[in-house]
Amino acid sequence: MVSKRQSTHFGFRSVDAGEKAGLVRGVFDSVAGKYDVMNDLMSLGIHRLWKRFAIELAGVRPGQRVLDLASGTGDLADRFADLVGPSGLVLMTDINAAMLGAGRDRMLDRGHAGNLAFAQVDAESLPFPDDSLDLITIAFGLRNVTHKEKALASMFRALKPGGRALVLEFSKPVIKPLEKLYDLYSFHVLPRMGKLVAKDPDSYRYLAESIRMHPDQETLKAMMEAAGFERCDVHNLTGGIVAVHRGFKF
Amino acid sequence: MSLRDLALEGLEQTLNRILDLDPDARVRLAALHGRVIRIELRGAGIELNFVSGHDGRLQLLGTVEGPPDCTLSGSPIDLIRASDKTEGPAQLFAGHVRIDGDTALAQRFSEALAGIDIDWEEQLSHMTGDIAAHEIGRGVRALQREGGRVGRSARDNLSEYLTEEARLLPHHLEIEDFLRDVDTLRDDAERLEARIALLEGRMGGDKA
Ligand SMILES: C[S@@+](CC[C@H](N)C(=O)[O-])C[C@H]1O[C@@H](n2cnc3c(N)ncnc32)[C@H](O)[C@@H]1O
């Protein structure tokens, strides 16, 4: 099956499956420096509330082992490292060296030491033993992953029984009028902001397009169930612009 | 996601900004890294879970899974008084504030926060934004019953906050509603688009 050429989405374009990772890397190499500023701007600061909501659903306890995938600059990892306490461990990871570097600098600036580790990791093939982690999170990362099923299966495998996975990701607005407005925002306002602030409209156009191509709530939930997750639930935030999917391994 | 999250985010940011100015308090809190301290506001039906970070900054969670390491519960006024540097310890031991779980932890936490310069009254009033009106009423009445023990002005101020904020807060903070108010937002987005176009024009002009 490896020899067969498969195509996948890169935003609205159809590309070779083998090509996508490189294209995604280009996007994040380009935005790494301005990532935090853009995050606040683009979401009007609401991404903080989305993350806060996900953190409560994560139910992290002291002493736990947490893996954060596609960490970027580490908003989730930063909080988890405080919640697991000195006896816990948070693994902050990203496939992209530039993003991970930016994130690592930020975490070291904040004085994290001892319970936070960094590694370059591809969500599709996790280099962790079976049944080894209490929680795996991926925030605004899954839509960039070429083979999402592989990533979900890999997450399931590495979780301890009793552990859980959380996917925080853009989703499909459940309020009709909101959808139109959201299109206007994503395809007109966003790339221009990207041009003004990050000097990179194409990367932000990709962001908007990749959001639209990402599986909707029901589809992603079914994918998680297919990967083995149980008691999956979906929480729509801001009218479904963003959703948290949660699944357990028992 | 709701007003509650927004209020938690707001209070957390305020607290941490104040803690940033007080290295001493942060050192003490850092020693409590990962410990969960719950504060229950009796009468108001609100619970706040504080988790100390590695650097003595605090995270505020609306809910945690499993039991906290300790719980401080009391009426808002008692808790506010307990956070006072001089009155605080007396308040704790007079039994107005109830402590469950790790008592030493509760005390270390209160002591660390006792010195910081924060208007708890105002902060707590933000937390009442999304609780039902009758609950607020109940809280206020409970406060009034306690009037004998409590400084009159403090009580009046707090009641005022609670009632006023109940009306005021949604106004400032109801983001979800704001987002649903699509017409307004659409106009805003269009204006923003126009403004960005203008800025782009200006930037282009600069270069030329
Ligand atoms: C939009 S950022 C999200 C960062 C952070 N989690 C947050 O919520 O702010 C997406 C990240 O996904 C990473 N990424 C893309 N493909 C990945 C993969 N296959 N495995 C792990 N990370 C990946 C990118 O490098 C980028 O840092």
CB atoms within 10 A of CB A26: 15
- A-to-B residue pairs, Cβ atoms closer than 8 angstroms: 93
Minimal CA separation from B113 to chain A, in Å: 18
Total structural domains within chain B:
3
CB–CB of A189 and B193 under 8 A? Answer: yes
3-state DSSP assignment of residue B64: coil
- Of ligand 1's listed atoms, the one at least distance from the Cα of A122 is 20
Domain boundary among B114, B143, B158: B114
Protein fold of A12-32+43-173+215-248: Rossmann fold (3.40.50)
Instruction: Please give the residue of chain B at the shortest CA–CA distance from A242.
Output: B1
Q: Are residues B76 and B44 in the same domain?
A: yes
DSSP per residue, A6-49: -EEEETTEEEEHHHHHHHHHHHHHHHGGGHHHHHHHHTTTTHHH
> Residues B102-131: what's their mean pLDDT?
74
**B7 and B105 inside one domain:** yes
Res A40: pLDDT: 77
Same structural domain, B17 and B109:
yes
B183 vs B109, higher pLDDT: B109
Same domain, yes or no: B23 and B56: yes
Determine, yes or no, domain membership for B124.
no
| Last residue in a domain, options B114, B137, B157 | B114
pLDDT at B37: 96
> Do both B135 and B83 map to the same domain?
no
Of A156-170, A231-245, B160-174, B193-207, the poorest mean pLDDT is in B160-174
Interface confidence, given as ipTM, is 0.88
Q: At A162, which helix (H) or strand (E)? A: strand A159-170
pLDDT for residue B86: 67
B93 has a pLDDT exceeding 70: no
In this predicted structure, the answer to whether residue B161 has a pLDDT above a threshold of 50 is no
CB contact under 8 A, B1 and A59: no
* pLDDT of B69: 97
Give tens-digit pLDDT for A48-106: 899 999 999 999 999 999 999 999 999 999 999 999 999 999 999 999 999 999 999 99
Lowest-pLDDT choice from A196-205, B44-53, B79-88, B179-188: B179-188
User: How confident is the model over B101-112, as a mean pLDDT?
Assistant: 91
Distance, in Å, from the CA atom of A104 to the CA atom of A118, rounded to the nearest integer, reads: 7
Ranges A18-22, B50-54, B188-192: which has the least confidence: B188-192
- CB of A80 closer than 6 angstroms to any ligand 1 atom: no
> What is the reported pTM?
0.81
Alpha helix segments (H runs only) across chain A: 17-31, 35-42, 47-58, 75-83, 97-109, 148-158, 176-184, 190-197, 201-213, 217-226
- Please, are residues B164 and B126 in contact by the beta-carbon 8 Å criterion? no
Low-confidence ranges of chain A (pLDDT < 50): 1-2
Q: Which residues of A touch B185 (CB under 8 A)?
A: 181
With respect to residue B119, please indicate whether it lies within any of the assigned structural domains: no
Burial A204-217 (b: 16+ CB within 10 A, else e): bbbbbbbbbebbeb
The tokens describing A124, both together, are 């599709």
Judgement on whether residues B158 and B57 belong to the same structural domain of the protein: no
Question: Would you call A110 and B190 a contact, using CB atoms and an 8 Å cutoff?
Answer: no
Residues B52 and B91 in one domain: yes
Q: Looking at chain B, how many residues does it have?
A: 208
Chain B residues touching A112 at Cβ < 8 A: 54
CATH of the domain at B52: 3.30.1050.10
Nearest chain A CA: its distance from B91 CA (Å): 30
Residue ranges making up the domain that contains B14: 3-114
Of A74-83, B16-25, B28-37, B110-119, the poorest mean pLDDT is in B110-119
pLDDT at B137 over 50: no
The domain limits of chain A are: 12-32+43-173+215-248
B67 and B139 belong to one structural domain: no
Task: Specify which of A191-205, B124-138, B172-186 reaches the highest per-range mean pLDDT.
Answer: A191-205
B15 and B27 share one domain: yes
pLDDT at A200: 83
- Asked whether residue B123 is assigned to any structural domain, the reply reads no
**Residue B175 and residue B205 share a domain:** yes
Residue B204: pLDDT band (50, 70, 90) is low
Nearest CA to ligand 1 atom 1: A140
